[in-house]
Amino acid sequence: MAILSHPERLSIRGPSVYEDQARRTWLPLVTATGGLLQVRLRQVDVPPGHIVLPSPLPPTSMPWGWALHPGGRYLDAMGQFWRIVSHVGADGREEMVLELLPGP
C-alpha cells in the first residue's frame, strides 16, 4: 500500500470544486454522521473549461479552502479545524474524509 501525502492546501476553484497545490481537482460531498459534520473529498480530473468562477459563498457554505497543519488536521478559511479521518488511494485516484472538530 502506497503512503499518500495529504495536500498542503485545498482552495476553491469553482462551485463545488477544490484544487490542491499540484493543480489536481477534488469534489466534496458533505455528510452529517451522528451529529458530526464530515466532508468526503474525491480527487477527480475536472477540465478547467467546465468550471464557472465562484460567487461569494454564504457563511454556512463550504470553506474557501483548507491548509494542512501538524497533527493530521486542516485549518479552514473560517478558522475551524478539521481532522483527517481517512485518506486512501486506488487506481490513481484519492479520497479523503475530513471531520469538523468542535470549536473552543
Where do the domains of the chain lie, and which CATH numbers do they carry? 9-100 (2.40.15.10)
pTM above 0.95, yes or no: no
Task: Give the number of other Cβ atoms within 10 Å of residue 63's Cβ.
Answer: 21
Contact between 50 and 44 (Cβ < 8 Å): no
DSSP code of residue 48: G
Centroid of chain to Cα 10: 6
Q: What is the pLDDT along the chain (104 residues), one digit of tens a residue?
A: 556 899 999 998 877 789 999 999 998 888 877 778 889 999 988 877 665 444 443 434 678 899 999 988 999 999 999 999 999 998 888 999 999 998 76
Vertex 16, ends 55 and 11: CA angle to 5°? 80
